[in-house]
């Protein structure tokens, strides 16, 4: 069907999206390798968020194909893609604000174990879910706020809950949409510490403005400019690329 390397878990070829006459995503060929730490960067308006929305199924592409695990998911609904193992976080916190932290994290675990339609006889699996949820929030060092309402905890902690919810689905691919958004760069190391502890088996695509974080975390970087891929390479190569410097003009 195409020359997909077997070690790529998420692949796009010729992915294009038009909004009227405006081409926001322009024939993007992209490979996310299994276990990758891949960053997607680019100036404002480069089409990063549109690309994420195409990958997660919120938007339909005008042309092109998306494969996950060599399966064509171009037409799959967002829910189906989640079941395929593609999880995401949101740039703006998208949490269950009135619920406690532990309940927030239990929500995806229940969904992942297909318990959501159970009314009777789910007592023990429910307890199991909440135990796992507690385990997960310990990994994020959130145990001290476990039974606080999410709306009442610090913003930085809410950012961690945002990631924990996505991780609760046990995704194969985790798309992090600006995990450090709203966090002062002096404190983004907290996010970085958490990201570094994520299991190696999860392939990660990170979109981020904080270049410090990107260059410390990613092993591969794709630069997107005006909807098209400028280049994909190692952090060092990207940092020294003349075209990238031009695009960012002194940003690094």
Kindly state whether residue 115 participates in binding other proteins, applying the rule CB under 8 A. yes
Q: Smallest distance, Å, CB 199 to other proteins?
A: 5
Q: Smallest distance, Å, CB 77 to other proteins?
A: 9
Q: Quick one: which of 34, 76, 99, 231 contacts other proteins (CB under 8 A)? A: 99
Q: Smallest distance, Å, CB 96 to other proteins?
A: 4
Binding mask 4-43 for other proteins (x = CB under 8 A): ----------------------------------------
Residue among 167 and 218 whose Cβ is closer to other proteins = 167
Q: Quick one: which of 62, 65, 74, 143 contacts other proteins (CB under 8 A)? A: 143
| Helix H or strand E encompassing 32 | strand 22-33
Q: What is the largest CA-CA distance in the chain?
A: 62
Asked if 136 and 105 count as a contact pair (C-beta separation under 8 A), the reply is: yes
Cross-strand partners of 104: none
Q: With contacts defined by CB under 8 A, name the span among 118-126, 153-161, 210-218, 226-234 that binds other proteins.
A: 118-126
State whether the Cα torsion 80-82-84-89 is positive or negative: positive
Residue among 202 and 224 whose Cβ is closer to other proteins = 202
Q: Smallest distance, Å, CB 145 to other proteins?
A: 11
d(CA 223, CA 49): 13
Q: Quick one: which of 29, 45, 199, 219 contacts other proteins (CB under 8 A)? A: 199
Q: Quick one: which of 7, 29, 60, 125 contacts other proteins (CB under 8 A)? A: 125
Cross-strand partners of 29: none
What is 167-236 written as a DSSP string? Answer: HHT--SEEEEE-TTTTS-GGGHHHHHHHHHHS-TTSEEEEE-S-HHHHHHH-SEEEEEETTEEEEEE-HH
Q: With contacts defined by CB under 8 A, name the span among 27-35, 45-53, 128-136, 236-244 that binds other proteins.
A: 128-136
Q: Which of 29, 51, 33, 31 is nearest to 41 (CA)?
A: 51
Asked if 203 and 173 count as a contact pair (C-beta separation under 8 A), the reply is: yes
Q: Smallest distance, Å, CB 47 to other proteins?
A: 20
Tokens of 238: 């990207």
Q: 149: which DSSP letter?
A: B
Q: List interacting residues with other proteins (CB under 8 A).
A: 56, 78-79, 82-83, 87-88, 90, 94-100, 102-103, 106-108, 110-112, 115-120, 122, 125-127, 129-131, 134-136, 138-139, 143, 146-147, 165-170, 197-200
């Amino acid at each position: 069907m195409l020359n997909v390397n077997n070690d790529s878990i998420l692949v796009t070829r010729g992915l294009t999206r038009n909004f009227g006459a405006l081409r926001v995503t322009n024939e993007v060929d992209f490979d996310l390798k299994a276990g990758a730490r891949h960053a997607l960067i680019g100036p404002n308006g480069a089409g990063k968020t549109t690309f994420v929305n195409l990958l997660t199924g919120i938007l339909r592409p005008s042309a092109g194909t998306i494969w996950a695990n060599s399966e064509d998911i171009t037409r799959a609904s967002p829910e189906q893609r989640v079941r395929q193992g593609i999880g995401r976080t949101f740039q703006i916190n998208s949490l269950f604000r009135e619920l406690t932290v532990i309940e927030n994290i239990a929500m995806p675990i229940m969904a992942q174990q297909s318990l959501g339609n159970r009314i009777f006889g789910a007592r023990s699996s429910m307890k199991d879910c909440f135990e796992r949820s507690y385990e997960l929030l310990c990994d994020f060092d959130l145990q001290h706020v476990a039974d606080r309402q999410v709306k009442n905890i610090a913003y930085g902690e809410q950012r961690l809950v945002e990631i924990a919810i996505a991780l609760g689905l046990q995704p194969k691919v985790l798309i992090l949409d600006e995990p450090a958004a709203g966090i002062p760069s002096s404190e983004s190391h907290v996010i970085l510490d958490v990201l570094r502890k994520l299991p190696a088996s999860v392939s990660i695509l990170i979109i981020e403005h904080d270049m410090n974080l990107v260059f410390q975390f990613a092993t591969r970087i794709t630069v997107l400019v005006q909807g098209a891929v400028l280049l994909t390479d190692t952090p060092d190569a990207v940092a020294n690329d003349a075209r990238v410097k031009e695009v960012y003009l002194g940003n690094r």
